[in-house]
Amino acid sequence: MQAIVIHSARDLRIEERPEEAVGPGEVGLRLATGGICGSDLHYFNHGGFGTVRLREPMILGHEVSAVVEELGEGVTGLAKGQLVAVSPSRPCGSCRYCTEGLPNQCLNMRFYGSAMPFPHIQGAFRQKLVAKANQCAVADGLSAGEAATAEPLAVTLHATRRAGDLFGKRVLVTGCGPIGVLSILAARRAGAAEIVATDLSDFTLSIARKAGADRTINSASEPDALAAYGTDKGYFDALYECSGAAVALAGGIGALRPRGIVLQLGLGGDMSVPMQTITSKELEIRGSFRFHSEFAIGVELMRKGLIDVKPLISQTLPLAQSVDAFTLASDRSQAMKVQIAFS
């Protein structure tokens, strides 16, 4: 089978890899669609991010949908030919955090396409994939592209759960890549009354408006636009910080009202924070990392038509054009969510 393998920065290859056998409790899958994530782009453009660096060739990818081709012994609830969204999250289930109900913090997590451990955890961008049955959420009624967005949607649903009650609240989203736009959809579904979004790209801001943002601000052309929201100690109740940029975090904190909530989703490395403002306004900073149960919830929300991710899917290219797909996905002036069609 063919797989998309990163060797070093800008060294992406389509290679032959052996197929795996299907064991008890597992399913054999034929990959349908894979979405290129920000972490995939970090490996492609820079060979890693922060202290995480490639130390061996690694199959990329963790946002995928697939068709069930083979059922392992004991598998129920799935049928051959079904389209499924495949969760890349594989916690061990037995470490201290798993047993405490925090599987996203698993000490032995095997998350597709991660260079954090060594040997690296190989990813899901391959024509044939063997997964545990409980990783698969039935995606009947969705397109393969929609089903492949379940993973980033789950990230934002987890963040929204971390935010607490958003009903009737005012929300600011900084950074309108896929996670930022999906945060807009998740916050609105949770009852947010007003959502303002900022970014440096007019293209991504146009998608944010389609997703339901009440106002969008280009921070490059309107660098002082957020300042007006800082009057009387601030305006917004919650901030989804999705850029990983210190300047965006500082601007968002300035626009938060006292006892507002900062949800940090962007992973741009360590950032300095305006601690004096955080202290005097009694703000709360809440990290949000990955997800678990939110994956299946996200699939159901899409199946019921309660969240529409279609506006995010900007381009879909065939497997043979994977390098072009990664190059395109790196251009935020014309790409939001680039996907690769495996079949």
Domains of the chain: 2-149+309-341 (3.90.180.10), 156-287 (3.40.50.720)
Q: What is the pLDDT of residue 98?
A: 97
The tens place of each residue's pLDDT in the chain, 343 residues long, gives 999 999 999 999 999 999 999 999 999 999 999 999 999 999 999 999 888 999 999 999 999 999 999 999 999 999 999 999 999 999 999 999 999 999 999 999 999 999 999 999 999 999 999 999 999 999 999 999 999 999 999 999 999 999 999 999 999 999 999 999 999 999 999 999 999 999 999 999 999 999 999 999 999 999 999 999 999 999 999 999 999 999 999 999 999 999 999 999 988 767 888 999 999 999 999 999 999 999 999 999 999 999 999 999 999 999 999 999 999 999 999 999 999 999 8
For residues 147 and 84, the answer to whether their CB atoms sit within 8 Å is yes
Looking at residue 267, its pLDDT comes to: 80
Predicted pLDDT at 51? 86
pLDDT at site 283: 98
Which pTM does this prediction carry? Answer: 0.95
How many whole angstroms separate alpha carbon 89 and alpha carbon 155?
A: 11
Residues ≥6 apart with Cβ < 8 Å to 89: 103, 104, 109, 111, 135, 290, 291, 292, 295
The whole-number pLDDT of residue 307 equals 97
Q: Say if residue 91 is preceded by a cis peptide, omega within 30 of 0.
A: no
Return the HEC string of the chain: CEEEEEEECCEEEEEECCCCCCCCCEEEEEEEEEECCHHHHHHHHHCEECCEECCCCEECCCEEEEEEEEECCCCCCCCCCCEEEECCCCCCCCCHHHHCCCHHHCCCCCCCCECCCCCCECCCCECEEEEEHHHEEECCCCCHHHHCCHHHHHHHHHHHHHHCCCCCCEEEEECCCHHHHHHHHHHHHCCCCEEEEEECCHHHHHHHHHCCCCEEEECCCCCCHHHHHHHHHCCEEEEEECCCCHHHHHHHHHHEEEEEEEEECCCCCCCCCCHHHHHHHCCEEEECCCCCCHHHHHHHHHHCCCCCCHHHEEEEEEHHHHHHHHHHHCCCCCCCEEEEECC
